[in-house]
């Protein structure tokens, strides 16, 4: 008998050898620096995940950031902010970029720092020393000053909500040079210095007046600036009706406790807003945030408001593509997927788990592709009965109710290969940390071995590995028939659709490269 370790079949020779290991110590493929940085940018929150803590994430991001061109780093920061809907990661990338000799920093700054919250986040990262310096420096200071001068009164007031640093801290740090008497009075008022009341913006004057007399109209300021006052139910109704879409979604239970829905017509008004397509798209809400709100307000708000969240979900997932051919969806339901999708941080750990996101994305794909096959997996493929006519919320909840066991990404592929199934596209939604199927060094991963078996009967088949955690390895290397992508915003759907339409496996990185500075 010949030595098969040496005399491999031709197909076996085509399989790439795993050159690294994942966090479980199992064989894996290393993503390129560009792929890995993009992966961290749209999934990393610098909180502790199942496998790594926030400090490790930061070190990985800094290392990767220095392995790419400053222009690409700037584009990743913009993509993470504008398309990935991330908060901490874009300003961290911007802080790293500020230390590089490139005009890309100044070009990216206004695209990334679009709110007072992002401004305060950027200043906090800079002064923490985590990216190399403990002060702002000349260029960053000038850009922060420019943001303050451009900001409207409403934007400045919104920026006052939150601390560490507060907006007053930021103003004291950068010493903005006000171009008008109004801005001069506003800055002085914020930092507690003497100011000319007559020069204050009208909105701030209205806030002062309302604090003295609650019979006056409620000023259009962040409601957090009013909650210390003795507000009536009518006040809360007005706050709810004036609030932004995201503010309404996040405070539905608060409104219920304050009696807002007891006022005739208010429930219908807020339900209509929650289901408004334009407002939903402008809010850039993650579908999983809608799902968790839907769960948390059940039984607390009127049915029409609860139902409006389902309508909002249908709009939020409208970009999920309808794909042709034989589509297979493989959500990871293993034990590690029970961890918080945004990681652990004392006092700020999200109740949303990775398995919730995987279940929701699978259910969303299934709604748009009712003929798709669903193969959840842990140690092996798990049998879950999904009704294709059920709502996205219901099917997502069924998948999220499964859980436990190890991670075996090759299990659904082996099942398909054994069945000699017809396959055009396989989509994995996982943390990608496969280890149950681990092999010795110097071999392909089990995923690639089973994928090769599938390709014998389906030469045009394609594989998508959608990772929802910040890692730099994969079980399948990017190539013409394999796409590695990360994130939870609706942007991933358009990239997957483009890949399925033969636009190339590097379409995700190309999407970022196409960002104009």
CA 368, CA 147: separation in Å to the nearest integer? 42
Give the pLDDT band of residue 1 (cuts 50, 70, 90).
Answer: very low
Give the pLDDT band of residue 73 (cuts 50, 70, 90).
Answer: very high
Report yes or no: 291 and 360 within 8 Å, Cβ to Cβ. Answer: yes
Return the pLDDT at 286. 84
Tell me the average pLDDT across 412-437.
95
Return the pLDDT at 8. 44
pLDDT in tens, 274-297: 999 999 999 988 888 898 899 899
Report yes or no: 246 and 273 within 8 Å, Cβ to Cβ. Answer: no
CA 405, CA 482: separation in Å to the nearest integer? 26
CA 373, CA 393: separation in Å to the nearest integer? 18
CA 302, CA 313: separation in Å to the nearest integer? 18
| Averaged pLDDT score across all residues of the chain | 90
Tell me the average pLDDT across 1-11.
46
Give the pLDDT band of residue 501 (cuts 50, 70, 90).
Answer: confident
By three-state DSSP, how is residue 30 classified? strand
| Of the candidates 75, 133, 136, the residue with the CA atom closest to the CA atom of residue 102 | 75
Return the pLDDT at 343. 61
pTM: 0.88
Tell me the average pLDDT across 483-498.
85
Neighbour tally for 17: CB within 10 Å: 12
Give the pLDDT band of residue 52 (cuts 50, 70, 90).
Answer: low
Tell me the average pLDDT across 334-351.
71
The domain locations on the chain are 10-29+319-513, 69-210, 222-316
pLDDT in tens, 195-209: 999 999 999 999 999
Return the pLDDT at 489. 79
Return the pLDDT at 303. 96
Return the pLDDT at 9. 45
CA 283, CA 260: separation in Å to the nearest integer? 23
| Of the candidates 451, 383, 378, 446, the residue with the CA atom closest to the CA atom of residue 417 | 451
Return the pLDDT at 12. 46
- Higher pLDDT: 37 or 343? It is 37
Give the pLDDT band of residue 53 (cuts 50, 70, 90).
Answer: low
The hierarchical CATH code for the domain 10-29+319-513 is 3.40.50.410
- Statement: residue 349 has pLDDT above 70: no
Task: Judge residue 361's burial from the number of C-beta atoms within 10 Å of its C-beta, 0-12 exposed, 13-18 middle, 19 or more buried.
Answer: buried
Return the pLDDT at 6. 44
Return the pLDDT at 350. 61
CA 136, CA 122: separation in Å to the nearest integer? 10
Report yes or no: 104 and 517 within 8 Å, Cβ to Cβ. Answer: yes
pLDDT in tens, 144-187: 999 999 999 999 999 999 888 999 999 999 999 999 999 999 99
Tell me the average pLDDT across 37-56.
73
By three-state DSSP, how is residue 123 classified? helix
Return the pLDDT at 339. 83
- Statement: residue 254 has pLDDT above 70: yes
Return the pLDDT at 347. 57
Share of the chain above pLDDT 90, in %: 66
Give the pLDDT band of residue 257 (cuts 50, 70, 90).
Answer: very high
- Higher pLDDT: 9 or 120? It is 120
Q: Which tokens sit at 329?
A: 């969806």
pLDDT in tens, 80-115: 999 988 888 999 999 999 999 899 999 999 999 999
CA 121, CA 140: separation in Å to the nearest integer? 13
Report yes or no: 430 and 407 within 8 Å, Cβ to Cβ. Answer: yes
Three-class SS of 135-189: CCCHHHHHHHHHHHHHCCHHHHHHHCCCCCCCHHHHHHHHCCCCCCHHHHHHHHH
Tell me the average pLDDT across 219-232.
93
């Amino acid at each position: 008998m010949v030595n098969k370790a040496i005399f491999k079949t031709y197909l076996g020779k085509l399989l790439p050898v795993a050159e690294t290991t994942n966090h479980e110590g199992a064989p894996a493929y290393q993503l390129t620096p560009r792929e890995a940085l993009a992966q961290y940018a749209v999934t990393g929150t610098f909180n502790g995940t199942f496998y790594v803590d926030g400090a490790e994430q930061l070190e990985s991001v800094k290392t990767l950031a220095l392995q790419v061109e400053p222009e690409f780093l700037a584009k990743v920061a913009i993509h993470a902010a504008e398309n990935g809907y991330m908060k901490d990661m874009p300003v961290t990338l911007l802080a790293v970029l500020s230390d590089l000799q490139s005009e890309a920093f100044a070009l990216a700054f206004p695209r990334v720092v679009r709110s007072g919250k992002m401004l305060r986040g950027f200043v906090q990262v800079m002064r923490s020393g985590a990216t190399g310096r403990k002060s702002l420096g000349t260029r960053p200071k000038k850009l922060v000053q420019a943001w303050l001068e451009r900001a409207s009164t409403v934007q400045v007031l919104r920026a006052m909500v939150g601390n560490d640093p507060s907006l007053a801290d930021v103003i004291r740090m950068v010493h903005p040079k006000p171009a008008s008497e109004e801005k001069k009075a506003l800055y002085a008022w914020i930092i507690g210095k003497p100011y000319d009341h007559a020069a204050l913006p009208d909105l701030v004057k209205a806030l002062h007046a309302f604090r003295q007399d609650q019979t006056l109209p409620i000023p259009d300021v962040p409601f957090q600036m009013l909650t210390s006052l003795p507000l009536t139910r009518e006040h809360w109704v007005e706050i709810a009706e004036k609030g932004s879409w995201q503010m309404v979604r996040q405070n539905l239970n608060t409104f219920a406790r304050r009696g807002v829905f007891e006022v005739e017509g208010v429930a219908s008004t807020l339900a209509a807003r929650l289901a408004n397509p334009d407002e939903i798209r402008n809010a850039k809400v993650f579908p999983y945030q809608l799902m968790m709100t839907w769960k948390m307000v059940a039984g607390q708000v009127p049915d029409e408001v609860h139902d409006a969240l389902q309508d909002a979900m249908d709009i939020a997932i409208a970009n999920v593509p309808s794909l042709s051919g034989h589509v297979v969806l493989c959500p990871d339901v293993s034990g590690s997927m029970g961890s918080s999708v945004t990681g652990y941080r004392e006092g700020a750990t999200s109740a949303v788990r990775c398995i919730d996101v995987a279940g929701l994305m699978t259910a969303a794909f299934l709604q748009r592709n009712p003929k798709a096959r669903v193969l959840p997996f842990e140690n092996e493929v798990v049998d879950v009965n999904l009704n294709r006519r059920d709502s996205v919320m219901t099917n997502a909840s069924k998948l999220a109710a499964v859980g436990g066991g190890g991670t075996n990404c090759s299990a659904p592929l082996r099942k398909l290969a054994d069945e000699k199934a017809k396959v055009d596209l396989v989509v994995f939604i996982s943390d990608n940390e496969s280890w149950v199927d681990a092999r010795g060094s110097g071999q392909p991963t089990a995923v690639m071995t089973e994928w090769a078996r599938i390709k014998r009967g389906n030469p045009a088949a394609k594989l998508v590995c959608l990772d929802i955690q910040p890692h730099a390895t994969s079980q399948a290397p990017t190539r013409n028939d394999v796409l590695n992508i990360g994130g939870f915003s609706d942007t991933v759907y358009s990239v997957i659709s483009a890949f399925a339409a033969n636009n190339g496996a590097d379409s995700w990185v190309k999407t970022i490269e196409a960002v104009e500075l």
